[in-house]
């Protein structure tokens, strides 16, 4: 049931022809309350799509009644016409729901730089159809409606002590921090203030979506939203809720990683014994963005020299001649030199674990990435066709 698993939420996903496949392409999620609390985090890309510009304004008061999402068009770099389309989408939803347009978030995903009267008409029609189809069972259709190049819909739920969390996500490429080419909606029936929702969401995304770095490319449309209904009447322990939210976001992030465009390996880069968490993240990200390393993993080649070369470009505190590197349980590098033979490493499974031991402190972090494949290049070379 995804986003409709918690009490107080209804959703729908409808098809209005934004996708040539005829599959659902507009989703609506509505918070029936009693609380109408919302929080959101957005791409840090300076180039932002019109829905991002709108939602950044709308979220300022911490009140969210509904969110409308479309796939099949990013509505980015479409000028004033595109922003008016987003504004009209929120107004249409507000009119039909009897709420303020300023309390409706809008999200879009798809090809950048396209949008015309036909696109606008379909989005507005989809908004109306979606609201007419709202139900407590509509979460599955909503999760399907936000898919673009995704091969599967991505959902996650958590059952707490009298309260729950539900989530849906889309994304299959251009995954980099500052979120990814992702749209994520998370709902909860726990009782939270707007300030708590914002703090918990930022803490959760920091250790989940912000550490997903599939191909080092940052999108213009990324948005992760948290809607709070308070319908359970339960105020959870703050630490317990934050941990649960991080678990749901982490699960969704791993599902995004597993569906990355054209990938044949899912790589978890564990950096341990760093001087600080920031150093651990910097080191992990340097490897995640190194095309030579990613190409080696695609070829099932445990080329640990490329790992050391990548981390040597960072400002993190460590001695490269003391670093250990382990691949899928085999320590191939010890103190910056060869250890076990490379042929002991089996990289044929999809899951790859890389452990980098910096030996300078107690901090650690994990970055998720994928390999660089022929299929990735082909799919992204033909994305607009």
User: Mean of the pLDDT values across residues 147-170?
Assistant: 95
| pLDDT confidence of residue 259 | 87
| pLDDT confidence of residue 172 | 65
128 vs 212, more confident: 128
| pLDDT confidence of residue 321 | 97
Burial class (CB in 10 A: 0-12, 13-18, 19+), 263: buried
95 vs 149, more confident: 95
User: Mean of the pLDDT values across residues 266-281?
Assistant: 97
Q: Which of 85, 127, 181, 373 is catalytic?
A: 181
| pLDDT confidence of residue 374 | 85
| pLDDT confidence of residue 177 | 43
Which DSSP helix (H) or strand (E) runs through 140?
Answer: helix 139-145
1 vs 222, more confident: 222
Residue-wise pLDDT for 290-333, tens only, equals 999 999 999 999 999 999 999 999 999 999 999 999 999 999 99
Query: What are the backbone angles phi and psi of residue 331, rounded to the nearest 5°?
Result: -80, 105
Average pLDDT score over the chain? 93
**What is the percent of the chain where pLDDT is above 90?**
83
Those residues with Cβ within 8 angstroms of residue 330's Cβ, 6 or more apart along the chain or in another chain: 302, 340, 344, 345
Residue spans of the domains in the chain: they are: 2-255, 266-381
3-state secondary structure at position 139? helix
Tell me the torsion sign for CA atoms 128, 129, 130, 132.
positive
Contact (CB, 8 A) for 88 and 119:
no
Confirm whether 2-255 and 266-381 share one CATH topology. no
Contact (CB, 8 A) for 170 and 190:
no
Contact (CB, 8 A) for 53 and 92:
no
Tell me the CATH number for domain 2-255.
3.60.70.12
Is residue 149 annotated as a catalytic residue, yes or no?
Answer: no
**What is the percent of the chain where pLDDT is above 70?**
96
Question: What CATH number matches the domain at 266-381, 3.20.20.70, 3.40.30.10, 3.10.20.340, 3.40.50.300?
Answer: 3.10.20.340
pTM to 2 decimals?
Answer: 0.91
Does position 174 have pLDDT exceeding 70, yes or no? Answer: no
User: Mean of the pLDDT values across residues 175-183?
Assistant: 56
Rounded to 5°, angle at Cα 75 from 69 and 81? 120
| pLDDT confidence of residue 383 | 58
Those residues with Cβ within 8 angstroms of residue 97's Cβ, 6 or more apart along the chain or in another chain: 30, 65, 66, 104, 131
């Amino acid at each position: 049931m995804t986003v409709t698993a918690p009490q107080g939420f209804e959703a729908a996903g409808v098809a209005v022809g934004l996708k040539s496949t005829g599959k659902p392409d507009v989703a609506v999620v509505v918070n029936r309350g009693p609380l109408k609390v919302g929080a959101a985090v957005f791409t840090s890309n300076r180039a932002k799509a019109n829905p991002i510009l709108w939602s950044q304004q709308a979220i300022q008061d911490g009140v969210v009644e509904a969110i409308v999402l479309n796939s099949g068009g990013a509505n980015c770099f479409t000028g004033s016409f595109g922003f008016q389309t987003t504004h009209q989408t929120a107004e249409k939803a507000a009119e039909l729901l009897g709420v303020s347009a300023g309390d409706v978030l809008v999200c879009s995903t798809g090809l950048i730089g396209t949008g015309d009267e036909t696109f606008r008409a379909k989005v507005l029609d989809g908004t109306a159809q979606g609201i007419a189809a709202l139900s407590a069972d509509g979460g599955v259709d909503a999760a399907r409606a936000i898919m673009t190049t995704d091969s599967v819909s991505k959902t996650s739920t958590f059952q707490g002590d009298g309260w729950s969390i539900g989530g849906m996500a889309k994304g299959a490429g251009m995954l980099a921090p500052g979120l990814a080419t992702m749209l994520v909606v998370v709902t909860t029936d726990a009782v939270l203030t707007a300030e708590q929702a914002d703090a918990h969401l930022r803490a959760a995304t920091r250790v989940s979506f912000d550490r997903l770095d599939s191909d080092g490319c940052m999108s213009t449309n990324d948005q992760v939203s948290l809607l709070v209904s308070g319908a359970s009447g339960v105020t959870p322990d703050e630490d317990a809720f934050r941990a649960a939210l991080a678990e749901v976001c982490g699960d969704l992030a791993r599902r995004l990683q597993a569906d990355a465009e054209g990938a044949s390996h899912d790589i978890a880069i564990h950096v341990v014994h760093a001087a600080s968490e920031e150093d651990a993240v910097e080191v992990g990200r340097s490897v995640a963005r190194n095309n030579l390393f990613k190409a080696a993993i695609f070829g099932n080649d445990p080329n640990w020299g490329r790992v050391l070369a990548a981390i040597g470009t960072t400002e993190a505190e460590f001695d490269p001649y003391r670093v250990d590197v382990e691949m899928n349980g085999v320590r191939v590098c010890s103190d910056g030199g060869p250890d076990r033979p490379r042929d002991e490493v089996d990289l044929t499974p999809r899951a790859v674990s890389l452990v980098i031991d910096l030996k300078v402190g107690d901090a650690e972090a994990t970055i998720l990435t994928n390999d660089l494949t022929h299929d990735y290049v082909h799919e992204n070379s033909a994305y607009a066709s």
